Amino acid sequence: MYIILLGILFLLMIITPLIFKNIKATGLVTILGSLFILSITIKIIMLVSRFHSLSFFNEFFYIDSLTLLQLLIISSINIIVSIYSYKYIQGEIVEKKISLKRGRLYYFLFNFFVFFMIFIALTNNIVAMWIGLEGTTLTTAFLIGFNINKESLESAWKYVIICSIGIGIGFIGILIFVNGYSSGDPAQILKWSHLAKSSTPQSTYAIKIAFTLIFVGLGTKAGLAPMHTWLPDAHSEAPSPVSAMMSGVLLNLALYVILRFYIITKHIPGLSNTRWLFIIFGCLSLLISSFSILRQLNYKRLLAFSSVENLGIIALGLGIGSKITVFGALLHSLIHALGKSLLFLTAGNILSAYKTKRIDKINALIKTMPINAVFLILGMLVIVGAPPFPSFFSEYSIIVGTVQSGNYIITALYSLCLLLVFAGFLKVFIKIVFNAEPGVTYEKLEIDKENTLPLSLCFILIIVMILFMNGYLSSMINNAVSIICN
């Protein structure tokens, strides 16, 4: 029922920009639709909390707590971003940066993008997950190259090539993976819920290869280093709402797909060591991104690197694999989505006010754009893991987990990277917000008040998360943890 409802909703949302010429109406429809999606998500959450898991359409769709987490992330970020887009696109059109047609294209692609993400989260079919990922590549490729100029085209091209190769590799992995189970019932073989329960495959060797291919291939899409190279380019060039969506949700979702395969792989005897892939690539991502953050000239690029870093943290947490770290990783994916969206959207506001992404061109934001400055600082605190924000607990639980499992080197490395990221963030954002050049008087900009509703909404969600962290949220995450750790 709900799935059909969702499908119809998306159909409407996708068609609207094609039919309606009015950009405002399209925007409103999108906001309305995302509201509906959120309410459906909440409804589904309530259902699942009662039945533990649900499946629809001959198990083509399957919902458990892990899915719920993704759904929650997608739908909450979606509503924030669609509210943001409403003013953003209008502003762009008013400033004659884009034509009306492109504005409608934006909504078309954006809704498609969201559709694919929800599809990935809901589907039970492992190949369908892949299709969904490929679909997000297709839609976001245009969204990244949205402002057709040299930089955005370059980044879009890199994105398309690198991600399609990655996804191609992942697909080979999936093929081999499925082949490893070919003795089973052909009707069931592509179903994740079936695979997770099924007995050992014919060849664990093939599964090993397959999982590595899947990990590296889809890891490209998830932005794990050293396959992350497309990410800073794409995130810095895409329109800010798209960056927020990609950074907060899409990367996470790609990791989610890997995780689904990992859950299957993990239960095969002798293959639980594949978790080292998570640890190694997680650490690599942490290292590379944290050092890169130290010397960035472009604040959106900085945020992109931070996404790599946070994905590294999540991967590390999943890789360590004890209950506490997995809990931390899942919690972190949630708070990172919110925090990073907050930062990207604020960055978008700053970009539209200053027309530059260069850090050294922006000073004394607290004087010129006080509201955005406050959100920027708050977002920074969320991302670097300052309490009482949940990111502190998620990052800390990973420290506890690494110590508990005896991987002290990883603890040291992890702490070092956290420190470096902290230093890098602090240097840049404190400079942007507080630094005042002597002899310059800073006037308050009118644009400051524009488009702050989504920011405050985002922050309210974070506050809500703090409040619910010990209650419903943690029980939901704990359910998800038990799916992974079993």
Partner 1 sequence: MLSLFGFQNDWLSIYFVLIVILIFIPVAIYTKGYIIEYKKHYSIKYMLLLIILFVASMIGVILAENGMVFLVFWEIMSSSSFFLVIYEYLHKENLKSGIFYFIMTHISGLFLMVMFAFLFKYTGSFDFKEIARLSMNFSPEQKYIVFVLALFGFGAKMGIVPLHAWLPKAHPAAPSNVSALMSGVMLKVAIYGFIRISFVFLINTPLYCGVIVLIIGTITAIFSILNGLLQNNIKKLLAYSSAENIGLIFAALGLSMILINYNLKLLAALALTAALLHSLNHAIFKSLLFLNAGSVLYATGTKNMDELGGLNKKMQFTSICTFIGTCAISAVPPFNGFASEVLILRSFIESITMVHNVWIIILIFSCGILVALTSGAAFYATVKSFGITFLGKPRTEKAQYVKPIPLSMNIGQGILALLTIVTGVFSPFIIKKLSYYTNNLLNTSENPPSFINETEIIVFTLMLIIITLIIYMLNKLNSRNKNTEINDTWACGYHSDQPYIQYSGSGFSEPAAKVFGPLTNYRKKVSYKETIYISEKTSDIIEDHLYKPILKVVDFLTTKILSIHYGKIQLYLSYIFISLILALILVLKFL
Partner 2 sequence: MIEDLLAVILISSIFMSGVRRVKLVTRVFIFQSLAIGLIALKLGLDTGKMDYYILGLLTIVTKVIIIPIIINKSLNQLKVNREMDLIVNGFISYILTGIFIMISFGILSSSHDNYIKTGIALFIIGVLLMVARKKAITQMIGFLTFENGIVLFEISLTKMSLVIEAGIVFEGLLLALVMGIMIFHINKTFDSINTDFFENLKE
* Binding positions for partner 1, 394-413, rule CB under 8 A: 396, 399-400, 402-404, 411
C-alpha 469/C-alpha 458 separation (Å) is: 16
For the bound state, the minimum distance from the C-beta of residue 387 to partner 1, rounded and expressed in Å, comes to 4
Site membership for partner 2, residue 12 (CB under 8 A)? no
267 binds, options partner 2, partner 1, none, Cβ within 5 to 8 A by partner type? none
Site membership for partner 1, residue 444 (CB under 8 A)? no
Among residues 160, 345, 418, 432, which is the contact residue for partner 2, using CB under 8 A? 160
For the bound state, the minimum distance from the C-beta of residue 179 to partner 2, rounded and expressed in Å, comes to 4
C-alpha 136/C-alpha 134 separation (Å) is: 5
DSSP state of 446: G
- At residue 151, φ and ψ (nearest 5 deg) are -65, -45
Of 33, 123, 112, residue with least CA distance to 70: 123
For the bound state, the minimum distance from the C-beta of residue 433 to partner 1, rounded and expressed in Å, comes to 8
**96 Cβ neighbours under 8 A, 6+ residues apart:** none
399 binds, options partner 2, partner 1, none, Cβ within 5 to 8 A by partner type? partner 1
C-alpha 74/C-alpha 62 separation (Å) is: 17
Of 451, 275, 252, residue with least CA distance to 335: 252
Site membership for partner 2, residue 252 (CB under 8 A)? no
Please report the DSSP string for 151-176 in residue order.
Answer: HHHHHHHHHHHHHHHHHHHHHHHHHH
Q: Which is nearer to partner 1, 27 or 390 (CB)?
A: 390
For the bound state, the minimum distance from the C-beta of residue 438 to partner 1, rounded and expressed in Å, comes to 8
CA 177 to chain centre: 25
C-alpha 351/C-alpha 370 separation (Å) is: 15
403 binds, options partner 1, partner 2, none, Cβ within 5 to 8 A by partner type? partner 1
- Window of 120-128, 144-152, 190-198, 433-441 that interacts with partner 1 by CB under 8 A: 433-441
| H or E element, residue 54 | strand 54-56
DSSP state of 56: E
Give the per-residue SS3 of 230-277. HHHHHHHHCCHHHHHHHHHHHHHHHHHHHHHHHHHHHCCCCCHHHHHH
213 binds, options partner 2, partner 1, none, Cβ within 5 to 8 A by partner type? partner 1
- Window of 50-58, 93-101, 196-204, 430-438 that interacts with partner 1 by CB under 8 A: 430-438
Binding-site size, partner 2 (CB under 8 A): 44
220 binds, options partner 1, partner 2, none, Cβ within 5 to 8 A by partner type? partner 1
Summarize as ranges the residues that interact with partner 1 (CB under 8 A): 157-158, 161-162, 165-166, 169, 205, 208-209, 211-213, 215-217, 220, 226-227, 229-230, 232, 273-274, 276-277, 280-281, 287-288, 291-292, 294-295, 366, 381, 386-388, 392-393, 396, 399-400, 402-404, 411, 415, 418-420, 422-423, 426-427, 430-431, 434-436, 438
